[in-house]
């Protein structure tokens, strides 16, 4: 016999719902017994976006079996509210967050590397590989595909709402509270390798003539060998960082 559950999603979780279900209680059919994780994801909300679930006023984890008549409240990550006594569903934030990005977020990967974040990206990653690397290396999976975040192996992930790369960067930095972790110009924006200071004389033959005369400080990527200096692009990047 079919049951019924009353459910409500809060704050940015409403981004995943049709307008008629946003910011209000609504009834959802319970067709068969199952976990609250599956129940919520069948509605369209990825589990990686959720930090707290209350069922009939009591906090539960994803394995809770939904019952007919349950009243469920679903919350995203709490930035400033102390919810220590209840069951938080997100892992403790990584001290040094690392990322892997899907094929639609190449420019965002470029920007994250500019800020000093370890951001893996290839335009030929397939979904199983993205999920596997995320789980194996403890990387936060950034994607525009909510179904990818619903894979059971993914525990750290974020659905990027914006489609503009600059706005995507601002969104990710703000939503994941990354401002204090920014270490600009410490990674190669091309390959994600770490940069190290390098003596000008050791690379002078590799530099354009104008660069040789105008700049004295250089960094080289340990992985691919690309050389960086504080040219006009540096000022543009500083402006971008200042707007975060």
Phi, psi of 150 (to 5 degrees): -85, -5
Closest CA to 46 of 161, 156, 150: 150
Strand partners, 54: 59, 73
Q: What's residue 196's pLDDT?
A: 97
What six digits make up the tokens of 78?
Answer: 């709490």
Give one DSSP letter per residue of 69-94, joined into a string. T-EEEEE---SSS--TTS---SPPPP
Phi, psi of 31 (to 5 degrees): -80, -30
Q: What's residue 83's pLDDT?
A: 47
Q: What is the DSSP letter of 229?
A: -
Q: What's residue 232's pLDDT?
A: 79
Phi, psi of 69 (to 5 degrees): 90, -5
Q: What's residue 234's pLDDT?
A: 83
What is the distance, to the nearest Å, from the Cα of residue 58 to the centroid of all Cα atoms in its chain?
Answer: 28
Per-residue confidence of the chain (244 residues) as pLDDT tens digits? 579 999 999 999 999 999 999 999 999 999 888 999 999 999 999 999 999 999 999 999 999 999 999 999 999 975 434 445 566 565 554 457 999 999 999 999 999 999 999 999 999 999 999 999 999 999 999 999 999 999 999 999 999 999 999 999 999 999 998 988 999 999 999 999 999 999 999 999 999 988 999 999 999 999 999 999 988 778 888 888 888 8
Euclidean distance between CA atoms 64 and 211, whole angstroms: 62
Helix axis angle, 106-114 to 165-175, nearest 10°: 60
Helix (H, G, I), strand (E, B) or coil at 59: strand
Strand partners, 59: 54
Q: Strands 195-198 and 218-221: what pairing? A: antiparallel
Do residues 142 and 130 make contact, with C-beta atoms less than 8 angstroms apart?
no
Q: How many residues comprise the chain? A: 244
Euclidean distance between CA atoms 120 and 153, whole angstroms: 18
Return all residues near 190 (Cβ < 8 A) that are at least 6 apart: 221, 224, 226
Q: What's residue 80's pLDDT?
A: 38
Q: What's residue 89's pLDDT?
A: 67
């Amino acid at each position: 016999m079919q049951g019924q559950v009353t459910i409500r999603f809060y704050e940015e979780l409403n981004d995943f719902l049709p307008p008629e279900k946003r910011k209000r209680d609504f009834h959802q059919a319970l067709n068969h017994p199952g976990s609250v994780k599956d129940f919520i994801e069948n509605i369209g909300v990825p589990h990686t976006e959720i930090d707290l679930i209350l069922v009939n006023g009591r906090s539960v984890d994803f394995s809770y079996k939904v019952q007919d008549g349950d009243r469920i409240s679903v919350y995203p990550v709490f930035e400033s509210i102390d919810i220590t006594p209840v069951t938080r569903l997100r892992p403790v934030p990584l001290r040094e967050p690392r990322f892997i990005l899907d094929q639609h977020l190449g420019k965002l990967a470029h920007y994250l590397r500019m800020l000093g974040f370890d951001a893996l990206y290839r335009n030929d990653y397939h979904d199983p590989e993205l999920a596997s690397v995320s789980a194996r290396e403890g990387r936060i999976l950034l994607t525009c595909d909510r179904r990818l975040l619903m894979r059971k192996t993914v525990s750290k992930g974020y659905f990027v709402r914006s489609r503009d790369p600059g706005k995507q960067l601002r969104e990710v930095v703000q939503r994941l509270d990354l401002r204090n972790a920014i270490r600009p110009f410490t990674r190669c924006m091309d390959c994600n390798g770490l940069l190290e200071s390098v003596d000008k004389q050791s690379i002078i033959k590799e530099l354009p003539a104008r660069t040789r005369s105008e700049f004295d400080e250089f960094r080289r990527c340990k992985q691919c060998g690309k050389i960086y200096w504080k040219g006009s692009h540096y000022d543009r990047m500083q402006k971008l960082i200042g707007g975060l």
